[in-house]
């Protein structure tokens, strides 16, 4: 889908001054409130003349090269002079800025500039996505003012709250060999109910196709000292008016305007203090011609305030609103809100047939009046990859996917662009699912992370002819897997018993360094008509066409069976010891000898000494018994009576 991009010319000079914190949600740039001002290509953080903190993009960008506009003196603000470009030859077809954003709605503003930074005299063609949805398209050649001075584009989008990632990506997609280019990115939260967020916020991106102040020149934070709570920039409407008609300006004359700067939209008071009305004949109309894409629907906001003190009652100023030739409503501002009070009206235009939408105010009573006009393309939020992005990013790291393959952003969305190189996606029950990974012959030198188990819809995996190492993870046993080709790598270790689902029809593990028993479940793939190739793995065994596995020994050590047998032997020995101890020590009787060794019998010499003392004591006892006569007297050795 190609969207028409409305380019806002760069304001040549901005008045010096500082915006107040409460007026500028971009001001702090702190992560706590998820507001960021990113200087793309900038080398260091800085604070602008308007008091806004700008961050160098090194912590947000996925690569690319830093650059500088050809004529920096034409750009008064530092963040407009630096840029980052993404050559597809090195950065791949997609490059992204990753923004840590909590779930919610955000205002995003992008500044793009060419200014012949690469001396090729040709502005590039590329697309931009936010929340995995294509939102902006730049096509070469750009309008001359945009190419030389730059262009701002902005939109309101919901963050990736359904993703398992903690960040939202803003991605740039190269067309042909063109390098996308960006100078600054600004993002800040908006009220969840802003711009009819209750009914459209979760499912629609609102892309600005024209935000006009009808009675003022361009104003907004970052350009003037005027405040806007969402940091919106309001462009002068003179370039969009039908100049065949005549117009007059009208102001509030310093009178206070009520009802402005209120939630949820916080429309700025400055816009309602001036307006445009018809000049000349009272029958003249007000007409603005807004560029549109006929494939889209548009949310139109019209802003009014009865700032003519001469209108004091209902019915004194009445006019019809006609959008794309259709009369959609009749407006009486005083009847709705009274005098000097902001009044806003919105309408959704569908089924356009022309690339220009006419916004006409036709007088009924008095002259019509208009303070401001907004026109937003309602871009449906695209279906995103179901929450397995964390698994794909882990796989990107473990396989060491080169930057040239462009594995950035959502793996499958936006659908206008192909999925990541080597990735095939299909619609699932809750979003897009990854069904195939074909990364054969890509020079990969990493390993397969077990996070691959989270790709539960994977049907085919081909990582053949790379230099991948390590063991095969158990996570390769997805029930959905039908084709597995890991041939011609450097995988080691045994084949996990988890591999071998009922749907698996092709298994190519040849030309690796795998070893051990081939799981029967895996080998049954070939038995039941599938294709299996295990050749070139000298250590595999246990199935036909491969050597028999040794009973207890393989590759210089015990195999699994040997380890089990050894463990069983130790268990049996321990059991025997326990039985002996039970019989000898526990079941002995009260008159059994105590076989406990004395504490000092700690060596052979000690045991011998004990034996010698025992023998001497025995000899003395026998001698005394022999010397004892029958009448109770002891005798000495020669038989004399004592």
Q: pLDDT tens digits, residue range 333-355?
A: 999 999 999 999 999 999 999 99
**How far apart (Å, rounded) are the C-alpha atoms in residues 225 and 228?**
10
Residue 156 scores a pLDDT above 80: yes
Residue 603 scores a pLDDT above 60: no
**pLDDT, average across residues 579-595:** 62
Contacts of 437 by beta carbon, 8 Å cutoff, 6+ apart:
422, 423, 424, 455, 458, 460, 461, 462, 463
For the record, the structure tokens of 500 come out as 């071998």
Q: pLDDT at position 467, please?
A: 97
Residue 183 scores a pLDDT above 60: yes
Residue 618 scores a pLDDT above 60: no
Confidence band for 221, pLDDT divided at 50, 70 and 90: confident
For the record, the structure tokens of 325 come out as 């030739």
Q: pLDDT tens digits, residue range 239-297?
A: 999 999 999 999 999 999 999 999 899 999 999 999 999 998 888 999 999 999 999 99
- pLDDT higher at 384 or 163: 384
Q: Which of 72-81, 359-368, 570-579 holds the top average pLDDT?
A: 359-368
Give just the sign of the alpha carbon dihedral 249, 250, 253, 258. Answer: negative
Q: pLDDT at position 164, please?
A: 55
Inter-residue contact 459 to 436 (CB < 8 Å): yes
- Domains assigned to the chain: 32-190 (2.60.120.430), 235-380 (2.60.120.430), 389-553 (3.80.10.10)
Q: pLDDT at position 442, please?
A: 95
Nearest Cα neighbor of 203 from 417, 352, 378 is: 378
Q: pLDDT at position 298, please?
A: 97
**pLDDT, average across residues 307-312:** 96
* pTM score, whole prediction: 0.79
Element of type H or E holding 362: strand 356-365
Integer angstrom CA distances of residue 251 from 214, 223, 233, 370:
11, 22, 20, 11
Q: pLDDT at position 586, please?
A: 67
**pLDDT, average across residues 155-168:** 74
Residue 441 scores a pLDDT above 60: yes
Percent of the chain with pLDDT over 70: 83
Q: pLDDT at position 435, please?
A: 94
- pLDDT higher at 223 or 271: 271
Ranking 3-7, 376-380, 602-606 by mean pLDDT, the lowest is 3-7
Confidence band for 619, pLDDT divided at 50, 70 and 90: low
Confidence band for 163, pLDDT divided at 50, 70 and 90: low
Residue 17 scores a pLDDT above 60: no
Q: pLDDT at position 561, please?
A: 64
Q: Which of 85-99, 389-403, 432-446 holds the top average pLDDT?
A: 432-446
Residue 557 scores a pLDDT above 60: no
- pLDDT higher at 545 or 632: 545
**356-365 and 286-291 as β-strands: parallel, antiparallel, unpaired?**
antiparallel
Q: pLDDT at position 111, please?
A: 96
**How far apart (Å, rounded) are the C-alpha atoms in residues 136 and 605?**
96
Q: Which of 11-25, 354-368, 424-438 holds the top average pLDDT?
A: 354-368
Confidence band for 590, pLDDT divided at 50, 70 and 90: low
- What's the mean pLDDT when you consider all of the chain? 84
Q: pLDDT tens digits, residue range 500-531?
A: 888 999 999 999 999 999 998 898 887 778 89
- pLDDT higher at 107 or 14: 107
Q: Which of 165-179, 317-331, 378-392 holds the top average pLDDT?
A: 317-331
Confidence band for 23, pLDDT divided at 50, 70 and 90: very low
Ranking 20-24, 461-465, 493-497, 529-533 by mean pLDDT, the lowest is 20-24
**How far apart (Å, rounded) are the C-alpha atoms in residues 424 and 429?**
16
| Contacts of the segment 457-464: beta carbons below 8 A, 24+ positions apart | 457/426, 457/428, 457/433, 458/434, 459/435, 459/483, 460/424, 460/435, 460/436, 461/436, 461/437, 461/485, 461/486, 462/437, 462/438, 463/399, 463/437, 463/439, 463/489, 464/440, 464/488, 464/489, 464/508
Residue 72 scores a pLDDT above 90: yes
Nearest Cα neighbor of 211 from 370, 374, 359, 348 is: 374
Percent of the chain with pLDDT over 90: 61
Q: pLDDT at position 11, please?
A: 35
**pLDDT, average across residues 413-437:** 90
Residue 216 scores a pLDDT above 80: yes
Q: pLDDT at position 585, please?
A: 74
**pLDDT, average across residues 133-148:** 94
Nearest Cα neighbor of 337 from 317, 358, 357 is: 317
Q: pLDDT tens digits, residue range 370-410?
A: 999 999 999 999 988 887 778 898 999 999 999 889 899 89
**pLDDT, average across residues 219-232:** 85
Confidence band for 137, pLDDT divided at 50, 70 and 90: very high
**CA 214 from centre of chain:** 40
């Amino acid at each position: 889908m190609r969207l028409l991009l409305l380019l806002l010319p760069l304001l040549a000079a901005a008045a010096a001054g500082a915006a107040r914190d409460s007026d500028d949600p971009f001001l702090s740039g702190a992560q706590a409130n998820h507001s960021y001002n990113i200087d793309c290509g900038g080398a260091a953080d800085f604070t602008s003349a308007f008091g806004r903190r700008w961050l160098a993009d090194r912590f947000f960008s996925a690569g690319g090269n830093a650059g500088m506009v050809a004529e920096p003196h034409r750009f008064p603000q530092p963040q407009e002079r630096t840029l980052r470009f993404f050559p597809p030859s090195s950065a791949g077809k997609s490059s992204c800025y990753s923004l840590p954003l909590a779930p919610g709605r955000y205002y995003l503003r992008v500044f793009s500039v060419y200014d012949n930074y690469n001396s090729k005299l040709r502005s590039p063609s590329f697309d931009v996505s936010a929340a995995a949805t294509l939102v902006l398209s730049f096509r070469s050649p750009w309008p001359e003012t945009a190419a030389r001075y730059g262009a701002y584009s902005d939109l309101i989008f919901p963050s990736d709250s359904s993703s398992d990632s903690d960040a939202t990506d803003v991605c740039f997609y190269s067309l042909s060999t063109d390098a996308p280019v960006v100078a600054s990115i600004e993002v800040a939260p908006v009220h969840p109910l802003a711009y009819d967020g209750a009914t459209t916020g979760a499912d629609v991106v609102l892309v600005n196709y024209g935000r006009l102040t009808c009675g003022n020149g361009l104003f907004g934070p970052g350009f003037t000292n005027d405040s806007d709570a969402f940091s919106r920039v309001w462009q002068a409407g003179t370039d969009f008016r039908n100049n065949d008609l005549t117009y007059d300006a009208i102001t509030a004359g310093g009178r206070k305007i009520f009802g402005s700067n209120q939630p949820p939209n916080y429309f700025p008071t400055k816009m309602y203090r001036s307006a445009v009305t018809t000049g000349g004949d009272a029958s003249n109309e007000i007409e603005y011609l807004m560029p549109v894409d006929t494939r889209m629907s548009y949310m139109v906001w019209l802003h009014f305030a009865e700032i003519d003190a001469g209108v004091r009652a209902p019915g004194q100023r009445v006019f019809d609103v006609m959008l794309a030739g259709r009369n959609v409503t009749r407006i009486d501002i005083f009847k709705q809100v009274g005098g000097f009070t902001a009044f806003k009206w919105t309408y959704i235009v569908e089924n356009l047939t022309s690339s220009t939408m006419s916004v006409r105010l036709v007088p009924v009573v008095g002259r019509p009046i208009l303070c401001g006009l907004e026109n937003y393309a309602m871009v449906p939020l695209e279906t995103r990859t179901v929450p397995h992005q964390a698994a794909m990013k882990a796989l990107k790291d473990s396989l060491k996917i080169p930057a040239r393959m462009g594995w950035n952003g959502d793996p499958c969305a936006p659908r206008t662009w192909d999925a990541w190189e080597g990735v095939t996606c299909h619609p699932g029950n809750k979003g897009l699912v990854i069904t195939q990974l074909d990364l054969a012959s890509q020079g990969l030198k990493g390993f397969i992370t077990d996070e691959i188990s989270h790709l539960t819809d994977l049907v085919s995996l081909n990582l053949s002819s790379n230099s991948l190492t390590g063991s095969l993870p158990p996570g390769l046993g997805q029930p959905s897997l039908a084709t597995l080709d890991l041939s011609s790598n450097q995988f080691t270790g045994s084949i996990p018993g988890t591999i071998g689902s009922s749907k698996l029809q092709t298994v190519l593990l040849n030309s690796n360094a795998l070893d051990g028993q081939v799981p029967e479940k895996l080998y049954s793939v070939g038995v039941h008509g599938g294709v299996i190739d295990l050749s070139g793995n000298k250590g595999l065994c246990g199935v036909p066409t491969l050597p028999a596995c040794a009973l207890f020994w393989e590759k210089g050590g015990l195999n699994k069976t040997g380890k089990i047998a050894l463990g069983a032997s130790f268990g049996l020995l321990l059991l025997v010891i326990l039985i002996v101890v039970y019989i000898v020590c526990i079941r002995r009787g009260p008159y059994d000898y105590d076989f406990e060794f004395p504490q000092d019998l700690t060596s052979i010499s000690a045991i011998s000494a004990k034996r010698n003392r025992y023998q001497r004591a025995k000899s003395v006892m026998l001698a005394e018994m022999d010397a004892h006569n029958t009448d109770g007297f002891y005798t000495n050795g020669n038989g004399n009576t004592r």
